[in-house]
Amino acid sequence: MDINSEKIRKRYNRASRFYDILESPMEMMSLKEWRINLMKELKGKVLEVGVGTGKNIEYYPDNIDITAIDFSEKMLEKAREKSEKYNKQVTLLQMDAQDMNFQDNTFDMVFTTCVYCSVPDPMKGLKEMRRVCKPNGKIIMIEHVRSENKILGLIMDILNPIVVNTYGANINRKTVQNVYNAGFGSIKVKDLYSDIVKNIVITNDK
């Protein structure tokens, strides 16, 4: 794990105790509904990148083979508690999204929810998801991004250092552009909340 990843990992370890409380306004607004809808799409051998405290685990379908990774051991402890609470079978592994210990073409589907704000090198992470996803497999992402509105975008740029130093998340990432830059071919993008939260669906053309 590189220096930047280690720094962010420590921030998320620190934030793990209050992370769910911190994110509860977003959950109540719409994120919970978005999570539920995404989980309905999952099938086959599935990878969740950035499981965090395991807020998706409750909604995992029972008929999938699912592995979930995170680089924060403290966040994974919370995820394990949720897997036991909801009696969900999931393989939870501590792993860096930028350097996954999986063979090429391992998973039918890969998904993320609000993860690419905190991957230190998003291009590395995106290319790793492309590598481990099977040809013509699906990658589904729900991610918050920098607004294209000039004023709001500027505010996000100004606030970003504060948020990053608090718990490691960048609120001004241009994730859609990063997806295109990572070399994916078939990409569909839908606005979920203004232009700040996006649903990105990728067919993994290799």
Q: For residue range 104-131, what is the model confidence (pLDDT) as tens digits? A: 999 999 999 999 998 999 999 999 999 9
Burial-class residue 99 by CB neighbours within 10 Å (0-12, 13-18, 19+).
Answer: middle
| 30 pLDDT more than 80 | no
What does the pLDDT average to over 129-151? Answer: 95
Q: How far apart are CA 175 and CA 129, in angstroms?
A: 14
User: What's the pLDDT score for residue 2?
Assistant: 65
Q: pTM of the full predicted structure? A: 0.89
CA distances to 2, 148, 188 from 198, rounded to whole Å, are 28, 12, 10
Q: Is the pLDDT of residue 16 over 90?
A: no
CA 79 vs CA 12, 87, 95, 157, 203: distances in Å:
13, 12, 14, 31, 28
102 closest CA partner among 72, 144, 75, 130: 130
Which two three-digit tokens encode residue 117? 């704000």
pLDDT of 157:
93
SS3 sequence of 8-54 = HHHHHHHHCCCHHHHHHHHHHHHHHHHHHHHHCCCCCEEEEECCCCC
Bridge partners, residue 66, by sequence: 46
Residue 14 is predicted with a pLDDT of: 67
Q: For 34-44, what is the mean pLDDT?
A: 95
| Maximal CA-CA distance, the chain | 46
pLDDT at 27 over 60: no
Question: Residues of the chain with pLDDT > 90: what percent?
Answer: 74
Options 3.40.1160.10, 3.40.630.10, 2.60.320.10, 3.40.50.150; CATH of 3-203: 3.40.50.150
pLDDT surpassing 80 at residue 17: no
For the chain, the structural domain boundaries read 3-203
